[in-house]
Amino acid sequence: ELAAEAAALLDRSRPSNALHAELHALMSRVAEVAAKGIEDNLDPGCVAVFRYALGQAQIVQSMVKAEIATHQAKGKWG
């Protein structure tokens, strides 16, 4: 059982944690779409857009993972 202050912190963190999880899932979907676009290889312009999207999705996912790790370390995940 958590102390009242720790429980309050966890309760306050739940909406943000859910948003982080949702953002990570969305970036997974962006990465899937981008990979399909790269594979389709219609023309260099299209491939450039898809490669950019893939790279940005990977960056955002890394940021989300780091923030989740921070939340876990501070008792704000659960």
Tens of pLDDT, residues 2-56: 799 888 999 999 999 999 999 999 999 999 999 999 999 999 999 999 999 999 9
Structure-block tokens of residue 21: 């999880």
Question: What is the pLDDT, as a whole number, of residue 38?
Answer: 98
Q: In this structure, which long-range contacts are made by residues 15-18, counting pairs with CB atoms below 8 Å and at least 24 apart in sequence?
A: 16/71, 17/68, 17/71, 17/76, 17/77
CA distance 46 to 24: 24
State how far the Cα of 71 lies from the Cα of 37, in Å rounded to an integer. 34
CA 9 – CA 67 distance, rounded (Å): 16
pTM, rounded to two decimals: 0.87
At 17 the pLDDT is 96
